[in-house]
């Protein structure tokens, strides 16, 4: 009696041969797996593109690389155990690095430094073992670090420092103007006190304020000078009148050009006023307190016996 296994063996032999051949043909095959989701990076930062093969195996002897469409531009290429920098696209030279720490397990990572907006888009990673090659696609999204800021906020950030600078300059200007006005008012009061005792009788001490937006002073007095005077001047000064005017308030928000011009005029006027005051004080400050205030004899001939032997009458 024949065995049932002996009769069924010839019918199963073709199936066994097919499975054996299939296992031999798939012994060197693998699949390439990418990140599976879009990768994000900021402009100027670094981006890492991971890629691996499944099942995991040593990939040090394989050819590994990344390229980009169109025309398959080479981003990075690893072949024969080293990086092939000469075959890179010009825009990626010096900006890529292949991390090989886990290459023995079939895992590699491409690091791109100094990310640009032009790096945004698709990348393709491939592994090639002799004549067998598999690849996986991935996408890189490049973002601006200030993308979350509203454009209106950006405008405010740009304009705010300029406004603050203008406000600071305006405050400094008004403080200086107020301080200068106080000093000028004090100087004018000192002139009143200094020459008020020698005021000529019958003449007003001060006139009215003709301009409500300015300080106005009109004084008439005479004194006897004890110091040398310039040529053409006489020693008796019958009348000395002066008008001092301080500009009124400037506009609330002056422009930069008018602000600089006004400050220059104020400082120049201050220096000129102080210089003239100090010059008069040196010439007449100490001696006029002791000199008698006398009415000059304007009608007498200086050469007559009754006239004053001093200097000639002052010119009107």
Residue 35 in this model has a pLDDT that exceeds 80:
yes
The overall pTM is greater than 0.85: no
**Residue recorded with tokens 């001093």:** 310
Residue 120 in this model has a pLDDT that exceeds 70:
yes
**pLDDT score recorded for residue 142:** 94
Q: Which long-range contacts (CB under 8 A, 24 or more apart) does 269-278 make?
A: 270/180, 270/183, 270/184, 273/184, 273/187, 273/244, 274/187, 277/187, 277/191
Residue 176 lies in a domain: yes
Domain shared by 156 and 278, yes or no: yes
Enclosing domain of residue 220: 151-284
Residue 60 lies in a domain: yes
Domain shared by 73 and 43, yes or no: yes
**pLDDT higher at 140 or 307:** 140
Residue 11 lies in a domain: no
Cα(235)–Cα(198) distance, rounded to whole angstroms?
Answer: 16
Residue 206 lies in a domain: yes
**pLDDT score recorded for residue 9:** 47
**pLDDT higher at 98 or 240:** 98
Domain boundary among 127, 143, 159: 143
When the pLDDT of each residue in the chain is averaged and rounded to a whole number, the result is: 72
- Residue 105 maps to which CATH number? 2.60.40.10
pLDDT band with cut points at 50, 70 and 90 for residue 254:
low
Flag the least confident range among 88-97, 131-140, 272-281, 297-306: 297-306
**pLDDT higher at 117 or 307:** 117
Question: Strand (E) positions, the chain?
Answer: 31-33, 39-42, 47-54, 63-68, 73-79, 82-83, 96-99, 107-112, 121-129, 132-143, 218-219, 223-224, 236-237, 242-243
Domain shared by 82 and 159, yes or no: no
Q: For 281-302, what is the mean pLDDT? A: 56
Count: domains in the chain: 2
For residues 54-84, b (16+ Cβ closer than 10 Å) or e, as one string?
eeeeebeebbbbbbbeeeeebbbbbeeeebe
Domain boundary among 143, 159, 176: 143
Domain shared by 119 and 155, yes or no: no
Domain boundary among 86, 108, 143: 143
**pLDDT score recorded for residue 222:** 40
- Provide the CA 51 distance to its chain's centre, in angstroms: 44
**pLDDT score recorded for residue 216:** 41
Domain shared by 229 and 271, yes or no: yes
Q: For 38-51, what is the mean pLDDT? A: 94
pLDDT band with cut points at 50, 70 and 90 for residue 145:
confident
Domain shared by 191 and 130, yes or no: no
Per this entry, what is the length of the chain? 316
Residue 309 lies in a domain: no
């Amino acid at each position: 009696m024949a065995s049932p296994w002996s009769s069924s063996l010839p019918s199963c032999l073709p199936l066994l041969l097919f499975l054996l051949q299939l296992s031999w043909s798939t012994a060197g095959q693998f699949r390439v797996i990418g990140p599976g989701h879009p990768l994000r990076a900021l402009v100027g930062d670094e981006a890492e593109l991971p890629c691996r093969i499944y099942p995991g195996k040593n990939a040090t002897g394989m050819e590994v690389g990344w390229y980009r469409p169109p025309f398959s531009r080479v981003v990075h290429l690893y072949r024969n155990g080293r990086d092939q920098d000469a075959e890179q696209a010009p825009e990626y030279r010096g900006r890529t690095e292949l991390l090989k720490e886990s290459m023995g397990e079939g895992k590699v990572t491409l690091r791109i430094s100094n990310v640009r907006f032009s790096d945004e888009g698709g990348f393709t990673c491939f592994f090639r073992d002799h004549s067998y090659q598999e690849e996986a696609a991935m996408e890189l999204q490049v973002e601006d670090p200030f993308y979350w800021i509203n454009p209106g906020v950006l405008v405010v950030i740009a304009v705010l420092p300029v406004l603050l600078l203008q406000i600071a300059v305006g405050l400094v200007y008004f403080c200086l103007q107020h301080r200068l006005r106080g000093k000028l008012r004090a100087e004018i009061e000192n002139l009143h006190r200094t020459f008020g005792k020698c005021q000529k009788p019958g003449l007003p001490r001060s006139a009215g304020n003709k301009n409500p937006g300015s300080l106005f002073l009109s004084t008439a007095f005479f004194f006897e000078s004890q110091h040398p005077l310039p040529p053409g001047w006489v020693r008796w000064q019958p009348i000395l009148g002066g008008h001092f005017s301080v500009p009124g308030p400037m506009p609330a928000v002056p422009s930069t050009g008018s602000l600089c011009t006004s400050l220059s005029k104020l400082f120049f006027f201050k220096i000129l006023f102080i210089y003239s005051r100090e010059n008069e004080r040196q010439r007449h400050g100490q001696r006029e307190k002791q000199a008698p205030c006398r009415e000059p004899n304007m009608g007498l001939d200086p050469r007559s016996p009754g006239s004053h032997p001093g200097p000639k009458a002052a010119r009107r």
